[in-house]
Amino acid sequence: MTITVEATQDGLGFDGEPTDAAVWAAMQAGPEFEARPGGTHRPDDVEGGDVEGGDVEGGDVEGGEEDNADGGREITAATRGADVLSGVGHTAAVGTAAAPAVDDATATLRRLRASVVAAHASAMRTQAALADRALAAMAAIAPPGGRIPAAVGDRGRGGPGWGTPAVDRPACHDTGLPGHAGASAPGTPPRPAPAIAPVEITAPAELTVDVTVVARDAAAIDGWVSLPAVVRQALDEVLRGSAHLAPRGGGHWVLTRAALVTSGPLPRVGDELRVQAATRVGAPGGFDPATAEVTLALRVTRGPDVLLEVLGGVFRWLARDGASHGGLAGAAGFAGIEAPGNPPGFAALEPAGAPSGSRGARGWTEDAFKLPGRTTRTTLDAGDLDRLTRGDVAGVFGARYDQRGVNPSVRLAPGGPLAAVPEFAPRGGAAGRGQLRASVSRLTGGVDHDGQPDPTHLAIAALTASWQAVSVFAMAAGLHLVIADAHLDVALPDERLELPDGLGRLSIEIHAPGHGAGPAAEAGLELVLTVTDIDLVPRPWLRADIELRDAHGPVATIRGIALAVRERPGTPVGPAHGGVLPAFLGRVGATGESALLGELQMFHAARGDLAIALGPEFASAAGRTVCRLPGGGLRLVDRVMRVDGARGQLSGGASMITEYDSPADSWYYTDSPSPTMPNIVHMETSLQSALLLGYYLGATLTDPANDYVLRNLDGTATVRREVDLAGRTIRQRSTLLSTTVLSGAILQNFQYELFLVPVDGSGSHGSGRDGDDRDGDDRDGDDRDGDDRDGDDRDGDDRDGEPFYVGESLFGFFTQRTLANQNGLDQGAFVPTWLERTSPAQADRRTIDVAARRAANAPLCAQGAMALLDQITVVDGGGDFGRGYLHAVRPTSPDDWFFARHFWLDPVMPGSLGVEAVIQALQEWMVQEGLTDDLVEPVFVVPAGLPMSWRYRGQIRPDDGEMTLEVHIKDVRRDGARARVVADASVWKPGMRIYGLTDIAAEARGRGAQSW
């Protein structure tokens, strides 16, 4: 016969034939079950329908309150926990009593009543027996001291499916990964499976779990719990608490796919967490575990805060032979999966499709993230990974990762599955943002009751390997170098900032659960991590897609896993009032000295929180159109090393030392006509450092009621000598000369010099007085770069410390109303181009097809982000000086890359990019004129010894539609292996001349060329 156990909303109901001896024999089977005194044994008198003694005094069985004359053997499910499972306690009693003489009718009635009582008592014994067996089964899967939720929640309490109170449950074991509590380590004897008689489960379509647990993680770093540990602990509660996922012989329940949404920082060990979950099967009335699919929705909260949710989770039964219902291959995502039993506020997640932030045109490099860390390491062995578990990041990646012990919690969790890293490529991967390949040990370290590999937690094992991989990449990238007292946490969305869509959501898909856990995995698996997004705002973070493969093919795919480096609550991440450092912020400079501000603050100055960048006086600027640093590839200042001067000191004399790292693979080297630093970078790094000084000193704080944006107005700069800047660190000293406050405008004049930091990090700009100014108490910045305040001998071989680039420039902070009154260089008058004024004959004009040269990948032609011109009109012998004339029109669009970089909420084309377009016109003309033909391995360089001056009186905005330029060539010079062209130029927006350039030049140099 069949015994069925049916879970109902009101409790567990048992349906059987209590008078059948086979029923009672089945109930007596099993080593955990034995007869209790006066209770669970088969009544001998049932068969005849007569209770010994014949009568039940009072004859009242309703309510179970019969009087038992012989002392009463009470059978109660409540005393054995049946009411815990069902919410209903049933009590029945039977007994004997002396029967008075009665007539036949009365005797017959009493016998009938006695038969009813006996049947009821037998049914209660059966129910109690089944309740005992249910408790015994649950005792086999509960953790020591754990708690078991009711199998079915009262859907009228606490919202649909989420109101069931947690109750105590017996102790049991769990099987897990190395480093997790309750794990069965490889080689240890398997624990015997509990003897459970086969039972067909009949359950409702949805079951809920609601339990409170204490956060735990045996591999926690300084008390910080990892993402895999939180998910593992929550899923364990589901596996123990849902009858849908009850264990059975011959296989395992495997989580084959799920979407995770993280909404809050990870907990600490000991935090109290509430786990609420709902599992659902296809239809009510029964299911076969061998063919069923169980879907899951789960929520983990800490107090009122949601930490994470699991949506669209799918469990499938994996038989011991590897067979699985529905198949597990394919990784196309799972858009539109409905999350079962969603409480109010839950939403279905759609993780299918590539994350945002993918690359634009093929070969585009401008958007490549510049890592704070600079290491030569491209591989890591087991010893390196072990050193990372001990926090020796500098010992693995180099001295520039030494933070003087301010980040002891930034280290790799011990006991993880990564064995080695054969590839770390900071510019690798499909998005060009980084790739890491790692070898991974088998994904499960536990075994099941039969001593076989247990794939139950394969998804968690894959998540653990992925978390370890993104942790290694984050440390190699140096994301922690810009912050102090930090730990590794999950990356979270921030509605105040423009961040990629879907941040905080990840998907897990298991393709072949038998592979990663089976014997074929003994040789190890390969993990491939591809970074899709990486940033420093609001805190350093990265997001990646990960695939785990073995000899058979893909085992697991995890998309969108995101890790952040977050400071301990209360740790300062920016300057205090007045720009004073409350403590060392964690960043050191190129030679090891303490930085005043680092890349984190520079990123916030570009598009984040200005209070973090500059101090609390700037907090009111959030969301307003105010002065910002450029962003992306146009942000060309990394660190502020020292400020000599106090906030509010605007009369002149204050100075600032900044640093900028120029990696050899920067976009402007790869995209320029030659792999040399173009003029735009010389201009921008110097101008940005100067404007940062004025802003830091509080120029706009003189009128806090108005929003000011920044514009460069004019300047003169000179390259004093040629230097190879690829892979070097540039150090700049900016000095404020004057400030003039007008109505709606604040004008500031600066002087600046650029030097090179020595390659070996030595030199007179060392590490301050003793290199140990860790608490930032050097409030005026004195000696942050040593006592060499005049820059002497900063690059060791620079002719007595002479700077390689010097200049002076005027900036203006303007209100939007003032900017609206700009009238260009000609006081509002329209001045046409020379081509329009003179109208030379078409026969006197020729065209340089720059776009065709670019398409042919011709030498000395700009590509990618530096491709500023497509066509140039040439009039030989034309122009103001009769030496030649160039004219070009460059269409502009709101989609042009530079508008998103310069500036946030205030998009304008950088003036230096307009200057670069003029230089490119000169360079293309030189190639067409054959001036580079006789040079050996020619490259373009910024001419040395020639001051170039500019005036800006307007900007190219996204809706202007085009930029027009003209160039008047006035000098052509050749000398051995060099050729130089000097010109004057102008730039127009529609209807207005806005740039005037004097002595702008282009120069080509052959290999071995001497200076002029």
Residue 45 to residue 812: CA distance in whole angstroms: 105
Percent of the chain with pLDDT over 70: 69
Residue 528: name the closest of 465, 458, 479, 480 by CA. Answer: 465
At 504, the pLDDT band (50, 70, 90 cuts) reads very high
Q: Which residues contact 842 (CB under 8 A, 6 or more apart)?
A: none
Residue 407: name the closest of 562, 538, 589, 566 by CA. Answer: 566
Residue 938 to residue 137: CA distance in whole angstroms: 81
For residues 344-375, b (16+ Cβ closer than 10 Å) or e, as one string? eebeebbbeeebebebeeeebbbbbbbbbbbb
Residue type for 373, please?
G
Per annotation, catalytic residue among 180, 252, 902, 968: 902
At 624, the pLDDT band (50, 70, 90 cuts) reads very high
Residue 661 to residue 372: CA distance in whole angstroms: 9
Q: Which pLDDT score is estimated for 643? A: 97
CB 280: neighbour CB atoms within 10 A?
Answer: 22
Q: Which residues contact 31 (CB under 8 A, 6 or more apart)?
A: 195
Residue 81 to residue 407: CA distance in whole angstroms: 51
At 453, the pLDDT band (50, 70, 90 cuts) reads low
- 3 state DSSP class of 385: helix
Task: Identify the residue with better confidence: 562 or 320.
Answer: 562
Residue 516 to residue 525: CA distance in whole angstroms: 8
Residue 328: name the closest of 15, 554, 62, 613 by CA. Answer: 554
Helices (H), ranges, 424-543 = 458-477, 513-517
The position carrying tokens 């181009």 is: 833
- 444 token code pair: 């499960």
Q: Which residues contact 185 (CB under 8 A, 6 or more apart)?
A: 178, 445, 446
Q: Which pLDDT score is estimated for 363? A: 66
Residue 299: name the closest of 337, 261, 252 by CA. Answer: 261
Residue type for 934, please?
D
Residue 986 to residue 947: CA distance in whole angstroms: 17
Q: Which residues pair with 963 in a beta bridge?
A: 890
**Does residue 376 carry a pLDDT above 80?**
yes
* H/E stretch holding 838: helix 834-838
Residues 898-957 have pLDDT tens digits of 999 999 999 999 999 999 999 999 999 999 999 999 999 999 999 999 999 999 999 999
CA atoms within 13 A on the CB side of 885: 20
Lowest mean pLDDT among 3-7, 210-214, 668-672: 3-7
Q: Reply yes or no on whether 902 is catalytic.
A: yes
pTM for the structure as a whole: 0.76
Residues 982-1005 have pLDDT tens digits of 999 999 999 999 999 999 999 999
Q: Which pLDDT score is estimated for 339? A: 32
- 809 token code pair: 């420039």
- 321 token code pair: 């032979």
Give the chain's mean pLDDT.
78
Q: Which pLDDT score is estimated for 552? A: 85
At 231, the pLDDT band (50, 70, 90 cuts) reads very high
At 497, the pLDDT band (50, 70, 90 cuts) reads confident
Residue 699: name the closest of 643, 740, 730 by CA. Answer: 740
Residue 69 to residue 59: CA distance in whole angstroms: 12
Q: Which pLDDT score is estimated for 536? A: 97
- Going edge to edge, which strands form the sheet with 4-7? 12-15, 4-7, 200-202
Task: Identify the residue with better confidence: 572 or 168.
Answer: 572
